Amino acid sequence: MNLPPNPGIARGRGRGRGRKPDEEANRGLAPLLGQSSNSSHTERNQASGGNGGGGDAQVGPPMREVQIPNSEGDPRGSVRGRRLITDLVYSRPQGMTSKKGVVGTHITVQANYFKLLTRPNWTIYQYRVDFTPDVETTRMRRSLLYEHKRLLGGYIFDGSNLFCNNQFKAVQGSPYVLELVTKSRAGENIEIKIKAVGSVESTDDQQFKILNLIMRRAMEGLDLKLVSRNYFDPRAQINLENFRLQLWPGYQTSIRQHENDILLCTEICHKVMRTETLYNILSDAIRDNDDYQSAFKRSVMGMVILTDYNNKTYRIDDVDFESTPLCKFQTNDGEISYVDYYKKRYNITIRDFKQPLVMSRPTDKNIRGGNDQPIMIIPELARATGMTDAMRADFRMLRAMNEHTRSPPDRRIERLRMFNNRLKSCAQSVETLKSWNIELDSALVEIPARVLPPEKIVFGNKIFVCDNRADWTQEFRNCSMFRNVHINRWYVITPARNLRETQEFVQMCISIASKMKMNIAKPIYEEIPDDRNGTYSQAIDNAAANDPQIVMVVIRTPNEEKYSCIKKRTCVDRPVPSQVVTLKVIAPRQQKSAGLSSVATKVVIQMNAKLMGAPWKIEIPLRGLMTVGFDVCHSPKNKNKSYGALVATMDQKESFRYFSTVNEHTKGQELSEQMSLNMACALRSYKEQHRSLPERILFFRDGVGDGQLYQVVNTEVNTLKSSLDEIYKTAGKKEGCRLTFIIVSKRINSRYFTGHRNPVPGTVVDDVITLPERYDFFLVSQAVRIGTVSPTSYNVISDNMGLDADKLQMLSYKMTHLYYNYSGTIRVPAVCQYAHKLAFLVAESINRAPSAGLQNQLYFL
């Protein structure tokens, strides 16, 4: 390909001088261990679908980040990947003898865990390794040390620190325990001096970091390819040629101390590999755009790419159109062009000498290693990874991917067993595990579990006992909603040319609402001549001036910019509940009446819920219970902004009102500094309605990783408890606030199966694979038709409500039935999903705090 003439392109020396290619720039090493180291079709929907006791989390020192250096493919004692090492956060109350519940039907399930048959009874010794004369590259250091593998036994080496289970005696009169001599490729004698530094005992938590590194070493023997942090099997790749994609199956593993045993968790994962390179994207930009440079930058900025020649991933931060592969950079042997470097180092011939170079800024790890120069990458050598928004909107492609990535339980179990067999049959993997005296069980771990009693869905004229489908959509055919809000005045804003289709859909909504004992009057139609953003804004202003209960806005096709304009107007400038629908959904060309009736039913349910109605309810035995959900969403348009949303119920038993609020967070901030203030506002709203404070508060916190538990306890929980206790004591309650704070985690690798099938909704696991330092349990609350169901992890960080484990588990399960945007159970408690929905709306479309006039309504549903 020949690029259009560019006066900035230099031949020979150019702007690229002094910048190293990606492989050369990534040399920094950090210390290894012990060193500082469904839903409605019309609105956007994000639905995913022992003895209790008081006590707070006991927290150790703050998190330490440990860098495990990247290897370049050399198996000689290398360590690969990156891990965040966190100190344990103890949330299990002191004196709690059992955190297991007893309510429900007792069953046995299998999980994606393998037991370590023998607990390691060794001490890991840490040594410092020095080379004289100094050997610059880590690969050469590993190669020289590998020649003494028989003497060293099983070991892990990162280029400077050596870990092994052999203790060497110190050389008499020398600070070193070993002094070895080997020859370099040039025949030069190299002295290797090994000095004792410290040790890691088998009772030390650091041993699990070592065990995970050993397992990664064992996996290298399976001919898997390390991409980012996980191992994948390119030989088993699945080609989706119609979409220029490949799927690489792989594994995520983790060894940890669970209740009674050390267990290896193994999860099946897939890496989406695009077959197109940055050069292909550049060619498309040149072909389709006059300003190809801007188009190319828009396409690749922020993209993660993979360079096959060294198996590393990078994030694209900029494009340098003035640098080409003919530019030179400085090496230890003098200047060399990128063309000559790749030919000499990798025997790769670069075809296009005029292509620009893409740039990746050095990471913190690079900078700590002394490399602060940008990393320059050749487009034709860089493969694009991940999926674009256009790909995610391609349902044909997603359907083709799901056929391979959503494995049913029986196929997933078979693949787990195959992985186990490969580890036990591969000579290199067996040698690695045997050298550390590690033996892995062949069978999946079996766990006692329970199925909680089914919940009763209460409608206006009927009670439905939820079955294993966890779906009551069909019940609305002959059931009225529990609490209806009649709509007497409302507006419908629609393009004039589509008035007839809109009126037909509105009439269907009115007819279906009457069957559910909800009265919807005929609306006032606001016809607009075109579908420009300004026209919609003016129409919303005209409608809002007449104080409608709700406004329905019809758009022709899904459009992000138009949707944002409508929501900003209805949520901020002229606050009024709104319902956005698209003609593609409400008036399709080939829509069966049953399908359109289903859409109308969901629209009616949504509008009722937005106006503080209750489509259904669940029987909650506790009076005066406030449930709270909190989540954070990052803005895709402005990476420096995040939004934290809090949604609280106003007495889960008697009231169907909600309180919601959103705060902007600083760059990358997951933890909320305004949580206490927002809770004070929620309590004020509760007191205005009930003239008293809630007796109990059940707080569900979503969006927290293990590495953030320490900060959550110290930043959020302790501050929140102090603030609430002060409010309650001021109100005359001397005992303070009765609060339970639970971390809800969806992104976990644990899976469990009933036989070779998915567990039914309500299946709880609170033993064996739970963690001994936590008051935690797993819950499957939803049903899936395709693939393997994912449980949700609940970690009780703080609890003084006085409820036992059974009640907390059942309350959590009940809360998953109350998300009014989906007539079925979801993965998390409804307040968590409401908080996510609100945070997502603000981050994606509004980008500012909504009007306080809407804070008592589910306007964001």
Find the mean pLDDT for residues 84-106.
81
Over the stretch 245-255, which tens digit does the pLDDT of each residue have?
A: 889 899 999 99
Q: Residue 654: pLDDT above 80?
A: no
Predicted local distance difference test score (pLDDT) of residue 668: 52
* Domain assignments of the chain as residue spans, ordered by start: 1-37+50-84+119-444, 484-610, 626-753+795-854
Respond yes or no: is residue 702 known to be catalytic: yes
pLDDT at 7: 30
Grade residue 36 by pLDDT with cuts at 50, 70 and 90: very low
Nearest to 30 by CA among 70, 2, 59: 70
pLDDT per residue over 398-445, tens digit each?
Answer: 889 988 899 999 999 999 999 999 999 999 899 888 888 889 999 999
Q: Which 3-state string (H, E, C) describes 275-342?
A: EEEHHHHHHHHHHHCCCHHHHHHHHHCCCEEEECCCCEEEECCEEECCCCCCCEEEECCEEEEHHHHH
pLDDT at 477 (0 to 100): 83
What value does the mean pLDDT take over residues 306-334? 87
Is residue 627 within 8 Å of residue 700, measured between CB atoms?
A: yes
Distance of CA 172 to the CA centre of its chain: 54
**What pLDDT shows up at residue 789?**
95
CB atoms within 10 A of CB 547: 8
- In this predicted structure, the answer to whether residue 386 has a pLDDT above a threshold of 80 is no
The string of DSSP codes covering 12-78 is SS-TTTTPPBHHHH-------SSS-----SSS-----------EE-EE-SPPEEE--PPP-S--SS-
Which has more confidence, 352 or 123? 352
Mean pLDDT value of segment 615-643: 87
Report residue 524 as tokens. 């006032």
pLDDT at 47: 36
Active site residue 631: yes
Per-residue confidence (pLDDT) for residue 459, from 0 to 100: 94
Stretch among 56-70, 163-177, 574-588 having the lowest mean pLDDT: 56-70
* Superfamily name with CATH number, domain 484-610: Response regulator (3.40.50.2300)
How many angstroms separate the CA atoms of 414 and 422, rounded?
12
The whole-number pLDDT of residue 48 equals 37
- The enclosing H or E element of 364 equals helix 364-368
Q: Which CATH architecture has domain 626-753+795-854?
A: 2-Layer Sandwich (3.30)
**pLDDT recorded at residue 673:** 66
Question: Using one digit for the tens of pLDDT, what is the confidence trace for 677-727?
Answer: 899 999 999 999 999 999 999 999 997 877 788 888 888 898 899 999 999
Q: Does the pLDDT value for residue 34 go beyond 50? A: no
User: What pLDDT score does 661 carry?
Assistant: 94
Please tell me the least confidently modeled range out of 80-84, 234-238, 775-779.
80-84
Q: For a pLDDT cut of 70, what percent of the chain falls above it?
A: 87
- At residue 366, the pLDDT reads 67
Rounded Cα distance, 79 and 214, in Å:
9
Top mean-pLDDT range of 98-112, 311-325, 698-712: 98-112
Q: What is the pLDDT of residues 174-188, one digit of tens each?
A: 788 888 888 877 778
Residue 26 has pLDDT above 50, yes or no: no
pTM for this predicted structure: 0.83
One of 22, 651, 702, 766 is an active-site residue; which one? 702
Give the C-alpha separation, 200 to 313, whole Å. 32
Amino acid identity, residue 304? Answer: V
Q: Which of 22, 56, 631, 776 is catalytic?
A: 631
In the chain, % of residues over pLDDT 90? 52
Q: Is the model's pLDDT at 653 over the cut of 80? A: no
Taking residues 641-663, report their average pLDDT: 87
The torsion defined by the Cα of 222, 227, 229 and 231, in degrees rounded to 10, comes to: -20
Q: Residue 831 — very low, low, confident or very high, per pLDDT cuts 50/70/90?
A: very high
Please state, rounded to an integer, the average pLDDT across all residues of the chain. Answer: 84
Determine the pLDDT at residue 546. 94
| pLDDT value of residue 244 | 83
Across the range 216-229, mean pLDDT stands at 84
**pLDDT exceeds cutoff 90 at 368:** no
Confidence of residue 29 (pLDDT cuts 50, 70, 90): very low
* 722: enclosing H helix or E strand: helix 718-730
DSSP state of 844: I
Is residue 741 very low, low, confident or very high in pLDDT (cuts 50, 70, 90)? very high
> If you count them, how many residues does the chain have?
861
Q: What is the 3-state secondary structure (H, E, C) of 526-561?
A: EEECCCCHHHHHHHHHHHHCCCCCEEEEEECCCCHH
Q: Which residue has the tokens 């979801």?
A: 826
- Rounded distance between C-alpha atoms, residue 659 and residue 679, angstroms: 10
Q: What mean pLDDT do residues 48-74 have?
A: 37
Check whether 8 has a pLDDT greater than 70: no
Mean pLDDT of 539-567: 94
**Pairing, β 696-702 against β 625-634:** parallel
Taken in order 484, 487, 491, 494, is the CA torsion positive or negative?
Answer: positive
Closest by CA position to 661, among listed 628, 692, 620: 628
- Domains 484-610 and 626-753+795-854 agree in fold: no
In this structure, what DSSP letter does residue 229 have? T
